[in-house]
Amino acid sequence: MSAAPAGGHGPPARAYPIAIPRAAGGAAIVIGLAALTGWRLGIAWLTSPVPGPATMNPTTALAVVLLGAAVWLNATRPAALAGWVPQMLAALAGFVGLARLTGYVFGFDPGIDHLLFADRVAATPSRLAPHTALTLLLLGAALLLEPRATRRAQVAVQVLALASSVAALVSVTGHAYGTELLTGAMALNTALAFLLVATGVLWSHPEAGVAAVFASPTAGGVLVRRLVPAIILIPFLLGWLGLVGQRAGFYDIAGGTALFVVCIIVVLATFAAWSTRSLDRADAERVAAEHALRLGEERFRLLVGSVRDYAIFMLDPTGHVASWNRGAQQIKGYTPEEIVGRHFSSFYPPEAVAAGGPAAALRAAAETGRFEEENWRLRRDGSRFWADVVITPIRDDRGALLGFAKVTRDLTERQRTEEALRASEERFRTLAVTANDAIISADSHGDITYFNPGAERIFGYTLHEVSGKPLTVLMPERLRDAHRAGLARYVATGEARVVGRTVELVGQKQDGTEFPLELSLASWTRGPEVAFTAVIRDITERKAAEETLRRYAAQLESANAELDAFAYSVSHDLRAPLRSLDGFSQALLEDWADRLDAQGTDYLQRVRSASQRMAQLIDDLLNLSRVTRTQMQVGPVDLSALADGIATELRTRDPSRQVEFAIAPALVVQADPGLMGVVLENLLGNAWKFTGKRPRAHIEVGVTRHNGHPAYFVRDNGAGFDMTYADKLFGAFQRLHGSRDFEGSGIGLATVQRIIHRHGGRVWAEAAPDRGATFYFTLS
Amino acid sequence: MTQKTMSQRMILLVEDNPDDEALTRRALAKNNIQNEVRVARDGAEALELLFGTGGQGGHAIAPELVLLDLKLPKVDGLEVLRRIRADERTRLLPVVILTSSREERDLVSGYGLGANSYIRKPVDFGQFLEAVRQLGLYWLVLNEPPPPRRPAA
């Protein structure tokens, strides 16, 4: 660490303790003033505290006062005082010493000794000893140089002050040992005052020089603080004791000296051993502490090095990369070898570099202590990423800039997430705003927090009007208590009767009109609070439609019941007269045959066949109505087996016919078995009937595909029909052939169509006259 | 009334239509079924004959077979059948439903109440004749009737 503060920005020198220079300066002033007082009042012990010829000359006393004042002022620096005053005082004192010394060198008396109290000085006599004059000069020069900050000046100050100390110490020792040889005629109080002033000078810059060595917290400082006083005091005291013993005649010079030496060796060796031991211990502690610190640093380095999501690296004061962690490599793509030593502007896009971004960032960080921004940065491959950058200056404990710490985070993903979130919010907001249904949110008190445009349209309130109002404003008076109770119960116990379900309720518009609504209520938690979202649909129209539908259903039911009663009556009562017609005609033919001619017989036969045809018609009609009246029982139906059975029956009924059946196997459908039987009976019966005039009749039952669905068919090679009349085919009582050619009621295909429709299917035919016909049907 | 043997017991014909009654009698005659035929013209009369509850202090008849129409004045045929089956004296009496209808509900109710047969009267008299012939052959000749009931107290 350099002795001088760095540049003009260093910490103020006066921040250091000023107690020592101040106390030293003050003590020197007191000693000087005491001597002057002694001269003034003739008190000898104040001018010369020990017996002997040496006294403090009044001029010396004055100079001592000046030096002490200079030290004191240097330490205190009162604001009202001009900066040059202490130097002036020091210069005066130094001049006194210089003048007297010059007199000694050139052999004249400059009259300095007699400046004050000339009579008493002459009487004593007293003069400034050369020794004293030299010390005054040294100390004056030291104090004159002290404010100068250059290293050379400071070294000079130290040397001058130390030299003065040695001179003063010599005098003090001489006085203590009672030898003129060393006192140099410098009075003891003078010597002490000089020591004080020298100490004050040395301590006015405690951060440098001798004082710094003493104040240092290092082992060296400890050693100096212990050894120097010991080295000074122990020989001094032992020498003095030896001298006293010698003078008292306890031993001769050789013995005294030997004793002195032995004592010094023992005491100093003991002292050195003690100091070394404690130093050793301190050093061991220091080593341990350093080890711990290194370990901590190592851990910290590993920690930073292993961080992958953050680029953490150092820049030197000029912005060159000094360190590089794994996260930096991960995010920016450079290896440490590639990037350490390069300028960090490599991370900026060219336009940011051109605009002076990197330099501005460092400047801002250095001046404000922190620089942060979110902006684009470049990776090694030139691609950009959205970065969060923090730059922090790093300074030593005296404020000198050591470099910058830079932490960079890749926010691209976060930014993308935020954008997606924004888009998603926008989507949901649009959904809520454009929805036809009312979407209403409420807090746990049931107060409205959101009211979408659909709600405004349905209820007639604006969001502004109902925001914060209880939901009860949207319902008729009679429902409000139930609502409040339900809400309280749900919030307290979580027991839901409406929440999570869709219910039909009654709402009330702003103008007071009530309307039916469908409510889907959901609850959710926001922190500790329960909140609700209701989706409400005005079902006025649906209700009306449902009512109409219900009415139709009731009408249909009553119509069906009527039809049923009608059919029951027909089935019993309409056939009885036919039986009479037929029966009694037969009786006439049998019992009165002899009275009937051929024409009479013929007429009776016509009555009989008409009655039987009528009976058949009635049966067919009843079948047709039964098809619609019976409940369907849907299950698997094997059409192939059904068709086989019907074919067998047809052959049995008319064994004379030559009809070839080709029935595809395993045609299984989901349908009502009874009704499918009726369908096949009709279709196969028709095919049987209309192939009646073919010598080789052929009837086929199979399946094909129509519009992707299976279409079952019954095909014959019979009479066929003209497709022009195909639309009449399935109407009741519609016949395309005369009864003379083919008998039939014209109800069979109507029945087939009705059954197929009841199954959700379709039936149609393809035919040509004399080319046969094919009837297709599908089932849902 | 024709003379009858002990084995030729009577047939009770429950029929409100006189034409049907005449045709049934003709069909029976044509098929040489000689049993006496008692006719009840409504359900109430049929029950009076069977249980002897008639106004003129008549006693209960014990027919070998009942031919029962369903659609009848006063008490309909199904009710007559229910009462026949409910009474200890007539519980085992063979009852053949002979009616115009073959509505499913009539069939189900008829068999459900314990009818022994259900025959639909065909319109064609030739077929009717054949039906009666088979009916007579089966119920009056082939079928072993339940043992005669003990005389009513």
Are the beta carbons of A657 and A690 closer than 8 angstroms?
no
pLDDT band per the 50, 70, 90 thresholds, residue B79: very high
* Residue A227: predicted pLDDT: 79
Contacts of B86 (CB under 8 A, 6+ apart): none
Place of tokens 């004379």: A656
Tokens of A12: 């103020």
Strands B95-99 and B65-68 turn out to be parallel
**CA neighbor of B121 nearest in space, from A583, A748, A563:** A583
The answer to whether the beta carbons of residues A680 and A639 sit under 8 Å apart is yes
Residues of B in contact with A587 (CB under 8 A): 23, 26, 125
Note the pLDDT of residue B114: 92
Q: Measure the CA–CA gap between A618 and A717, rounded to whole angstroms.
A: 30
Three-class HEC string of A387-432: EEEEEEEEECCCCCEEEEEEEEEECHHHHHHHHHHHHHHHHHHHHH
Helix (H, G, I), strand (E, B) or coil at A665: coil
pLDDT, average across residues A267-292: 84
DSSP for A681-703, written as a single string: HHHHHHHHHHTTT-SSEEEEEEE
Distance separating alpha carbons of residues A560 and A734, to the nearest angstrom? 24
Residues of chain A contacting B118 with CB distance shorter than 8 Å: none
Query: Tokens for A426?
Result: 């926008």
pLDDT in tens, A597-634: 989 999 999 999 888 888 888 888 888 887 877 778 89
Q: Report how far residue A435's alpha carbon sits from residue A429's, in angstroms, rounded to the nearest whole number.
A: 10
Rounded Cα distance, A77 and A58, in Å: 27
- Bridge partners (DSSP) listed for residue B66: B12, B95
B99 touches chain A (CB under 8 A): yes
In the predicted structure, residue A152 carries a pLDDT above the cut 80? yes
Does the CB of B77 have a partner CB in chain A at under 8 Å?
no
* B17–A contact, CB cutoff 8 A: yes
pLDDT at A200 over 80: yes
Coil, helix or strand for A356? coil
Report the SS3 class of residue A554: helix
Tell me how far the alpha carbon of residue A34 is from its chain's centroid.
Answer: 77
Token digits of residue A290: 């350093």
* Six-digit token string for B33: 């079924």
CA–CA min distance B23, chain A (Å): 7
Q: Which of A148-152, A487-491, A499-503, A535-539 has the highest mean pLDDT?
A: A535-539
* pLDDT above 50 for A549: yes
Token pair belonging to A486: 């339900």
Q: Which residue of B has its CA nearest to A616?
A: B123
B38 and A CB contact within 8 Å: no
Other beta carbons within 10 angstroms of residue A547's beta carbon come to 10
Given a cut of 70, whether residue B127 has pLDDT beyond it is yes
pLDDT in tens, B28-77: 999 988 889 999 999 999 999 998 886 665 678 888 899 999 888 888 89
- In degrees and rounded to multiples of 5, residue A217 shows phi and psi of -80, -5
User: What is the pLDDT, as a whole number, of residue A13?
Assistant: 40
Q: What is the mean pLDDT of chain A?
A: 84
* B149/chain A closest Cα distance in angstroms: 34
Do residues B48 and B17 lie in contact, with contact meaning Cβ atoms separated by under 8 Å?
no
Q: Does B125 touch chain A (CB under 8 A)?
A: yes
The minimal CB distance from B124 to the residues A571, A580, A612 is found for A612
Contacts of A573 in chain B (CB under 8 A): 71, 100
Supply A659's token pair: 């009809």
* CA dist A147 → A138, A153, A430, A646, B7 (Å): 16, 9, 78, 135, 165
Instruction: Tell me the average pLDDT across A451-457.
Output: 92
- Report the residue of chain A nearest B72, measured CA to CA: A572
Q: Which of A587, A611, A630 sits opposite B123 (nearest CB)?
A: A611
Contact (Cβ atoms closer than 8 angstroms) between residue A737 and residue A745: no
At B44, the amino acid letter reads A
Using the Cβ of B4 and the Cβ atoms of chain A, whether some distance falls under 8 Å is answered with: no
Mutation for B interface: A564, A570, A580, A629, most B CBs within 10 A:
A580
DSSP for chain B, written as a single string: -----SSS--EEEE-S-HHHHHHHHHHHHHTT--S-EEEESSHHHHHHHHHT--TT-PPPP--SEEEE-SS-SSS-HHHHHHHHHHSTTTTT--EEEEES---HHHHHHHHHTT-SEEEE--SSHHHHHHHHHHHHIIIIIISPPPPPPPPP-
Q: Is B18 on the interface with A (CB under 8 A)?
A: no
Report residue A3's pLDDT band, with 50, 70 and 90 as the boundaries. very low
> What residues of chain B lie within 8 A of the CB of A582, using their CB?
123-125
Q: Using the beta-carbon criterion (under 8 Å), do A575 and B99 form an inter-chain contact?
A: no
pTM for this model (two decimals): 0.43
Q: Are A749 and A682 spatial neighbours (Cβ–Cβ below 8 Å)? A: yes
Contacts of A451 (CB under 8 A, 6+ apart): A438, A440, A461, A462, A463, A466, A467
Q: CB–CB of B123 and A578 under 8 A? A: yes
Count other C-beta atoms under 10 Å from residue A209's C-beta: 21
- What angle, rounded to 10 degrees, do the helices at A58-76 and A130-145 form? 20
Do residues A76 and A22 lie in contact, with contact meaning Cβ atoms separated by under 8 Å?
yes
For residue A711, is pLDDT > 90? yes
Residue positions counted in chain A: 780
The pLDDT of residue A41: 86
Q: What is the pLDDT of residue A638?
A: 94
Calculate what percentage of chain A has a pLDDT beyond 70: 95
In contact, A128 and A110? CB cutoff 8 Å: no
| Chain A touched by B73 (CB under 8 Å) | no
For an interface test with B, which of A568, A569, A572 has the most B Cβ atoms less than 10 Å from its Cβ? A572
Span A444-472, average pLDDT: 91
Q: Do A584 and B100 touch (CB under 8 A)?
A: no
Q: How far is CA A110 from the centre of its chain?
A: 87
- What is residue B65's three-state secondary structure? strand
Which residues in chain A are closer than 8 Å to B101, comparing Cβ atoms?
A: 568, 571-572
